[in-house]
């Protein structure tokens, strides 16, 4: 993407009503204004709140919002020029239950309050395969504890990935730490029983992986 294109998207994000871009200082040095108030102040209702972490272009956030109008969805990514597409689509489709937040995933417990979130989706994260990158894996122990803080007691986690390594690493960690695995599938398009929103909604990159006959995996779990 050219720098002019990026700048244009950054400018549009600034005026999109469904995009929130707090500074790191706003989050770390104080109490972020929407922490604990996303439903009340942003969505103006008390519907279940669902997050997509590392949302990329925001395809999942937008499609889930269309499928479940009685739920609120927030796509989170640090790359605003990327989720610009999802934010623009949500506005064009008049989706009042979809929003986008530009911040780092490790700050998620600074922008959402304890027990504020009902469900979290992690779609096609970087598997961070090298051992020294373990601390950056989005399903490592520290990240799971951050998610647990903001999730309601019965909150649900979803991991969808094309990485066999990430799938195996996460399953091993979940079993090892005593978390509750509700469903696991190492090839959702070739095995029966996959939830509809897992196979019906596809990201751009996912469609490319499928053309290469690459297996897509999925885990649904609770953090104990």
Nearest to 22 by CA among 84, 104, 81: 104
Annotated catalytic residue, options 29, 93, 118, 126: 126
Count of Cβ atoms closer than 10 Å to residue 4 Cβ: 8
Active site residue 126: yes
β 72-77/98-102 pair status: parallel
Per-residue burial over 188-207, b = 16 or more CB atoms within 10 Å of its CB, e = otherwise = beeeeebeeebeebbbeebe
Give the C-alpha distances (Å, rounded to integers) separating 72 from 6, 61, 96, 192.
Answer: 28, 10, 8, 29
Residues serving a catalytic function are 126
């Amino acid at each position: 993407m050219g720098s002019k294109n990026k700048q244009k998207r950054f400018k549009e994000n600034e005026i999109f009503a469904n995009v929130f871009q707090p500074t790191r200082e706003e989050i770390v040095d104080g109490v972020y204004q929407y922490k604990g108030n996303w439903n009340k102040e942003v969505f103006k209702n008390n519907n279940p709140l669902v997050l997509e972490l590392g949302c990329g272009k925001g395809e999942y956030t937008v499609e889930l919002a269309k499928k479940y109008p009685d739920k609120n969805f927030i796509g989170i990514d640090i790359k605003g020029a990327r989720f610009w597409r999802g934010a623009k689509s949500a506005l064009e489709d008049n989706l009042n239950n979809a929003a986008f937040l530009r911040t780092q995933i490790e700050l998620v417990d600074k922008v959402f309050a304890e027990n504020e979130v009902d469900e979290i989706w992690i779609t096609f994260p970087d598997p961070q395969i090298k051992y020294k990158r373990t601390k950056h894996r989005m399903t490592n122990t520290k990240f799971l504890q951050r998610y647990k803080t903001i999730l309601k007691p019965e909150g649900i986690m979803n991991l969808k990935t094309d990485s066999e390594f990430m799938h195996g690493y996460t399953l091993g960690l979940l079993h090892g730490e005593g978390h509750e695995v509700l469903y696991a599938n190492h090839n959702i398009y070739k095995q029966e029983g996959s939830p509809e929103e897992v196979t019906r909604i596809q990201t751009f990159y996912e469609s490319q992986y499928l053309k290469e006959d690459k297996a897509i995996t999925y885990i649904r779990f609770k953090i104990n």
